[in-house]
Amino acid sequence: MNHRAEKTTANIIPTLRYRDAAAAIQWLCTAFGFERHLVVPTDDGGVAHAQLVFGNGMIMLGSARDDAFGALQAPLGNADMTVSQSPYIIVSDVDAHHARATAAGARIVMPPADQDHGGRFYCCRDPEGNLWNFGSYDPWESK
């Protein structure tokens, strides 16, 4: 790991809101290999807050709702919308990860391919249209 990265206490944790967060949690674990770290349900079957981990990374998510944060971040209007950001997640075996995601119903928008800058990469959408990138290129390892 990069020497500067080892000395920082900063972490970046993407956040998402889903129409059906409970279903999204199950799907993200099945399709991508996330693991539940914390899930706080609501009385109406929604998810107040969830933390899912993948390796040493984490995402946080919850059910879409009409609150102050919901006025700023909401699920996509449709599953084909252009997004303004998407997570990149490093995996050791891109093709095996792609097969797992495909078997779970991920919509592949860029199939696995070797990249000019190194590594292999693919891109897909989850059932609510969020864009996810998976690749073997690790920028901390590059020179």
Query: In this structure, is residue 33 part of a structural domain?
Result: yes
Please give the Cα distance from 143 to 120 (Å, whole number).
17
Q: Is position 143 within any domain? A: no
Asked whether residue 141 is assigned to any structural domain, the reply reads no
Residue 90: CATH number of its domain: 3.10.180.10
Q: What are phi and psi of 48, to 5 degrees?
A: -70, -45
Please give the model's pTM, rounded to 2 decimal places.
0.91
Residue 50: which of 29, 71, 21 has the closest Cα? 21
How would you write the pLDDT of the chain (143 residues) with one tens digit per residue?
455 556 667 789 999 999 999 999 999 999 999 999 999 999 999 999 999 999 989 999 999 999 999 999 999 999 999 999 999 999 999 999 999 999 999 999 999 999 998 899 999 999 999 999 999 999 988 65
**Residues spanned by the domain of 38:** 3-135
Tally of domains within the chain: 1
